[in-house]
């Protein structure tokens, strides 16, 4: 699908009574849609930190200037809730967005015109690692030179911690996606982002009363449920999610390291300290436009880092 076929509304700040009315709209819409975890409506539209010596894909074959980019993943890569209530906004996606405010990875690598013609966004809001193989299969039809991956948050964002994807299953699913990609795109490069620190997002977002009302509707309940509780059970639950995300990130690094054309961010996204300015003013959990810009910076640094 071409980049111009699925554009969301432009980001705008809303203050005072308008913010309250917007929050009420979120509550109503989320109730209707039944938001759970980081899940919501899906879509398909185009659109570091750490040393290079530790980064996989650091061999002589790595090209710091790929001529096309395809993105796969979940709501973060769709720009969900960055522009308007409970909606994807792919034009502000860190990976393939056209917004000048974000300066996406694709725009940085290809230029504005090049990104419009040679970047595609196959991420789906609500997707989990089990969905990545199907996304990769679709992306491969475009024959991109770089595939950007950010997936796994929804595997931890479940109704309960017991419903989180087991680490062994997560590994198998990511390996399957990488095998599928290699079968169809043997020379494509792969950039794999780490999963954000969900506990950090909880600690920042819980300072906003309206955001917490949205969380009560079922947004990532394994982490965000009973947001103000600091008792032993709530702390254990959040730490369990935190630890699972760390385990997922270890899997991403390990599987990527086996592929000489795969490069990670060395955990830079997970380590990034999102503040309230980098969080959606609709749900105080997904990245805002500014948050998307920070993700684009991290990705660009990782992709263009010289091999050691």
DSSP notation for 188-223? -EEEEPPPP-HHHHHHHHTT-HHHHHHHTTTBSHHH
In this structure, is the dihedral angle defined by the CA atoms of residues 31, 35, 36 and 37, taken in order, positive or negative? negative
Cβ-based neighbour number of residue 60 at 10 Å: 6
Is the CB of residue 76 less than 8 Å from the CB of residue 150? yes
How do the domains of the chain map onto residue ranges?
A: 3-304
CATH, domain range 3-304: 3.40.50.1110
Average of pLDDT values for 38-67?
54
**pLDDT the model gives residue 243:** 98
Cα 4 to the chain's mean position, in Å? 21
Closest C-alpha to 259, from 148, 159, 181, 145: 181
**pLDDT the model gives residue 170:** 99
Cβ-based neighbour number of residue 245 at 10 Å: 24
Cα 82 to the chain's mean position, in Å? 12
| Weakest mean pLDDT among 60-74, 165-179, 284-298 | 60-74
What is the rounded CA–CA span in Å between residue 231 and residue 221? 16
**158 has pLDDT over 90:** yes
**pLDDT the model gives residue 308:** 63
**175 has pLDDT over 60:** yes
Closest C-alpha to 157, from 40, 280, 276: 40
Of residues 214 and 117, more confidently modeled: 117
What is the rounded CA–CA span in Å between residue 292 and residue 278? 8
**pLDDT the model gives residue 217:** 86
Average of pLDDT values for 95-112?
98
pLDDT band at 211 (very low <50, low <70, confident <90, very high): confident
**pLDDT the model gives residue 23:** 47
**52 has pLDDT over 70:** no
Condensed to tens digits (0 to 9), the pLDDT of residues 270-288 reads: 999 999 999 999 899 999 9
Average of pLDDT values for 100-125?
98
**pLDDT the model gives residue 210:** 85
**pLDDT the model gives residue 47:** 44
Of residues 58 and 124, more confidently modeled: 124
Closest C-alpha to 204, from 232, 223, 221: 223
| Weakest mean pLDDT among 14-18, 69-73, 246-250 | 14-18
- Report which DSSP code applies to 1: -
132-136 contacts at long range (C-beta below 8 A, 24 or more positions apart): 132/72, 132/73, 132/173, 132/174, 132/177, 133/173, 133/176, 133/177, 133/180, 135/72, 135/73, 135/177, 136/72, 136/177, 136/180, 136/181, 136/184
Condensed to tens digits (0 to 9), the pLDDT of residues 68-86 reads: 999 999 999 999 999 998 8
* Length of the chain (residues): 308
Average of pLDDT values for 149-170?
98
Average of pLDDT values for 95-121?
98
What is the rounded CA–CA span in Å between residue 298 and residue 49? 7
pLDDT band at 307 (very low <50, low <70, confident <90, very high): confident
Q: Residue written as tokens 């595997």?
A: 155
Mean residue pLDDT across the chain: 85
Is the CB of residue 163 less than 8 Å from the CB of residue 120? no
């Amino acid at each position: 699908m071409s980049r111009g076929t699925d554009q969301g509304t432009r980001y705008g700040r809303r203050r005072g009574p308008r913010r309250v009315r917007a929050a009420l709209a979120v509550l109503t819409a989320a109730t209707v849609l039944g938001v759970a975890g980081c899940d919501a409506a899906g879509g398909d539209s185009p659109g570091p930190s750490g040393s290079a010596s530790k980064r996989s894909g650091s061999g002589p074959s790595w090209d710091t200037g790929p001529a096309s980019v395809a993105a796969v993943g979940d709501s973060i890569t769709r720009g969900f809730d960055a522009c308007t209530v409970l909606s994807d906004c792919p034009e502000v996606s860190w990976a393939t967005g056209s917004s000048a405010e974000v300066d996406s990875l694709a725009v940085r690598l290809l230029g504005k015109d090049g990104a419009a013609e040679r970047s595609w966004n196959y991420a789906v809001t609500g997707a989990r690692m089990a969905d990545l193989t199907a996304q990769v299969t679709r992306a491969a039809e475009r024959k991109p030179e770089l595939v950007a991956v950010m997936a796994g948050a929804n595997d931890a964002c479940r109704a309960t911690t017991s419903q989180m994807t087991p680490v062994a299953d997560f590994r198998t699913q990511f390996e399957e996606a990488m095998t599928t990609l290699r079968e169809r795109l043997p020379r494509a490069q792969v950039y794999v982002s780490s999963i954000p620190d969900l506990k950090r997002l909880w600690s920042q977002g819980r300072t906003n009363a309206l955001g917490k009302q949205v969380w009560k509707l079922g947004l990532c309940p394994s982490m965000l449920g009973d947001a103000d509780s600091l008792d032993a059970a709530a702390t254990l639950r959040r730490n369990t999610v935190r630890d699972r995300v760390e385990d997922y990130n270890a899997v991403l690094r390990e599987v990527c390291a086996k592929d000489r054309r795969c490069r990670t961010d060395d955990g830079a996204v997970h380590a990034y300290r999102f503040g309230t300015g980098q969080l959606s003013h609709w749900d105080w959990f997904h990245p805002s436009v500014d948050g998307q810009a920070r993700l684009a910076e991290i990705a660009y640094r990782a992709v263009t880092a010289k091999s050691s």
